[in-house]
Structure 1
Amino acid sequence: MRGATGCDREEWFTLLDEWGAAGRPYREIAAWLTGERHVSRWWAQKLIVEFEQDRGLRAPGARRDGTYAVTAGKTIAAPTDRLFASFVDTAVRERWLPGAVVAPRTADPGRSARFTWEGGPTRLSVGFSDKGGGKTTVHVEHERLPDAESAKDAKAYWRERLAVLKAVLEN
């Protein structure tokens, strides 16, 4: 960390305490770290999350607002447009995600899609990355989960569902 940012973890935490980061919103802290302290966005995010967890402002795995988010990903031997359709086309989605109630919010064909999950308040963000050779990586983020147990369950659910999606599209 010192090599990349100029300080070790404890030095950063001291600086963040002195600056009053515990009482400031995430974006303001990130702007200070990247602007005033010349830290990359990646290191700023890492520092903020670790600082907030250390100071009891955020539980491990939680966002600052107290909700949780989980991610799952899978590389599948299918073109991006076919994988995208597996999420946005109800009939295709039913083959690997039966009974799921999703409401589309936004979509950028072949790149990303966002949905409200099961009537809310949780949401899905899905991204697609063409890997070439007819392969695509899909990345699912399930956001606004209420607690750590829900996050654990959602993580297992999405791993299992993406494995089913892979089997459906590759067979």
Structure 2
Amino acid sequence: MPVNPRIGPIERTTGRTWDEWLRFLDAIGARDLDHGAIALRVYEELGDVFEQRGWWTQSVTVAYEHHIGRRVPGQRSDGTFQTSVSRATPLPMTELMARWRAFADGDAAVQEVVAGGTPRVSGTDRRTTWRTRAVDGSSVVVTSEPKRNGTASLVATQVGLPTPEANEAARERWTGIVARFLAGVAPGR
């Protein structure tokens, strides 16, 4: 079985080997628990000393579900699939989202994916999000998140895809869309 790329970071961050995590998970009967119940036990086990405790809880839980064959990479706990494409940009968060909105409104590939209607846009000082439904019933979420240097990243995510093949096709499509968008993005352009 190929090594799960999550395991190295889990071991470094938690200070436990993967075998130690497997012993813990076996001891709590994790094979017979659903995702939420496993995550709760891992969360409790990690304790209050971890930054991003929820993130590492999910990392351990999902890696375990991959290990026992309950999920394949990209699969969510509800059985559907999710893909994301993330890229750094030279723009600040607000300008990045404004440019994304203008691009998405006129880009044929984006319009081919979305189901119509007006995307919802919401935001805080931590992120701005553009959300819409795709023609296949899945959700599309594009997020602009600030970085420390005043620029922002763009993350395009499609959630609720029915198969690994649909997931891979969505990843390829969004990789192309994001690359095309970023090719036309430069500060002050």
- Superposition TM-score tier, normalisation by shorter sequence: 0.7 to 0.9
SS in structure 1 at match of 2:91:
coil
- How much does 1:138 deviate? 0.8
Which of 51, 56, 62 matches 1:49? Answer: 62
Count of residue pairs the alignment pairs up: 169
Matched, 1:118 2:134: yes
Identity of aligned residues (%): 25
| Change in CA separation of 1:134 and 1:165 when aligned onto 2, cut-off 3 Å | farther
What's the offset of the Cα at 1:3? Answer: 6.0
- The whole-number CA distance in structure 2 between the counterparts of 1:22 and 1:13 is 11
1:159 aligned partner, one-letter code = T
Aligned residues of 1:128 and 1:137 also touching (Cα < 8 A): yes
Which is further off, 152-161 or 79-88?
A: 79-88
Aligned with 1:156 (options 168, 172, 175): 172
SS of the counterpart of 1:169? coil
Residue matched to 2:106: 95
Q: Deviations over 1:33-91 (max 9, x none)?
A: 122453743332222112111211112221222211111112223332232124445xx
Q: Using structure 1 for the length normalisation, give the TM-score.
A: 0.79
| Aligned residue in 2 for 1:26 | 35
Aligned to 1:140: 156
Would you say 1:108 and 2:123 are equivalent positions?
A: yes
Asked if 2 retains the 8 angstrom alpha-carbon contact of 1:70 and 1:143, the reply is: yes
Q: Which has the higher strand share?
A: 1
Q: 49-58 or 33-42: which moved more?
A: 33-42
Shift in Å at residue 136 of structure 1? 2.3
Question: What TM-score, normalized to structure 2?
Answer: 0.73
- Distance of 2:88 and 2:25 partners within structure 1: 39
Change (3 A) 1:120 1:107: farther
Q: Structure 2: where are the runs of 5+ without partners?
A: 1-9
Residues in 1 aligned to 2:34 and 2:62: alpha-carbon distance in whole angstroms? 12
**Which has the higher mean CA deviation after the structures are superposed, 96-105 or 20-29?**
96-105
Query: Which residue, out of 25, 30, 33, partners 1:16?
Result: 25
